[in-house]
Amino acid sequence: MTTAIVKKYTSDLASAWNELIASSKNGTFLFNRNFMEYHSHKFVDHSLMFYHDDKLVAVLPANSVGNILYSHQGLSYGGIIYDKQTKTKDILLSFNALKDYCAKNDIARIIYKRVPYIYHNYPSEEDLYGLFMINAKLVRRDIGYVIDIRNPIKFSELRRRMLNKGIKANLIIREIEEYDEYRNLLEFAIAKHDAKPVHSSAEMSLLAKRFPENIKLFCCYKDEIMLGGVWLFVTNNAVHTQYIANSEEGQKCGSLETLVTHIMQKYNDLNYFSFGISTENNGRYLNEGLTWQKESFGARGITHDFYELTF
- 126 and 192 together in one domain: no
> Looking at residues 127-133, what average pLDDT do you find?
96
Contact predicate 245/189, CB 8 Å: yes
Tell me phi and psi for residue 41, to 5 degrees.
Answer: -70, -15
- 95 and 66 together in one domain: yes
Separation of alpha carbons 142 and 125, rounded Å? 18
140 belongs to a structural domain: no
125 belongs to a structural domain: yes
- 123 and 237 together in one domain: no
The domain boundary, picked from 100, 135, 170, lies at 135
pLDDT of residue 311: 81
311 belongs to a structural domain: no
- 119 and 171 together in one domain: no
CATH number of the domain at 8, please: 3.40.630.30
162 three-class SS: helix
The domain boundary, picked from 135, 159, 178, lies at 135
- 127 and 155 together in one domain: no
- 124 and 215 together in one domain: no
- 159 and 20 together in one domain: no
The domain boundary, picked from 110, 135, 160, lies at 135
To 5 degrees, how large is the angle CA 98–CA 4–CA 113?
30
- 79 and 153 together in one domain: no
Which pLDDT band, with edges at 50, 70 and 90, does 221 fall under?
A: very high
pLDDT of residue 274: 98
141 belongs to a structural domain: no
pLDDT of residue 192: 78
Answer yes or no: pTM beyond 0.75. yes
The CA–CA distances, whole Å, from 59 to 20, 96, 153, 161, 261 equal 8, 14, 37, 47, 36
Each residue's pLDDT tens digit, 16-48: 999 999 999 999 999 999 999 999 999 999 999
Each residue's pLDDT tens digit, 8-17: 999 999 999 9
Separation of alpha carbons 89 and 3, rounded Å? 12
Range(s) of the domain holding residue 41:
4-135
DSSP string, 19-46: HHHHTBSS--GGGSHHHHGGGGGGS-B-
Separation of alpha carbons 302 and 243, rounded Å? 19
The CA–CA distances, whole Å, from 260 to 15, 229, 265 equal 36, 10, 9
- 69 and 174 together in one domain: no
Average pLDDT, the chain: 96
- 118 and 184 together in one domain: no
- 180 and 297 together in one domain: yes
Contact predicate 169/161, CB 8 Å: no
To 5 degrees, how large is the angle CA 12–CA 13–CA 15?
105
Separation of alpha carbons 256 and 106, rounded Å? 49
pLDDT of residue 272: 98
Separation of alpha carbons 276 and 77, rounded Å? 11
159 three-class SS: helix
Which pLDDT band, with edges at 50, 70 and 90, does 194 fall under?
A: confident
Q: What is the 3-state secondary structure (H, E, C) of 52-72?
A: ECCEEEEEECEEEECCEEEEC
CA 249 to chain centre: 29
Q: Does residue 1 register a pLDDT over 80?
A: no
Which pLDDT band, with edges at 50, 70 and 90, does 190 fall under?
A: confident
Separation of alpha carbons 30 and 97, rounded Å? 25
Separation of alpha carbons 52 and 37, rounded Å? 26
> Looking at residues 193-210, what average pLDDT do you find?
91
90 belongs to a structural domain: yes
pLDDT of residue 262: 98
310 belongs to a structural domain: no
Separation of alpha carbons 260 and 258, rounded Å? 6
197 three-class SS: coil
pLDDT of residue 195: 79
Q: Does residue 97 register a pLDDT over 90?
A: yes
Q: Does residue 88 register a pLDDT over 90?
A: yes
For 134-153, letters b (16+ CB in 10 Å) and e give eebeeebebebbbbebeeee
- Name the residue type at position 309: L
Each residue's pLDDT tens digit, 239-270: 999 999 999 999 999 999 999 999 999 999 99
- 52 and 176 together in one domain: no
**225-234, strands of its sheet edge to edge:** 62-65, 68-71, 109-113, 300-310, 137-148, 272-277, 238-246, 225-234, 215-222, 172-175
Q: How many domains would you assign to the chain?
A: 2
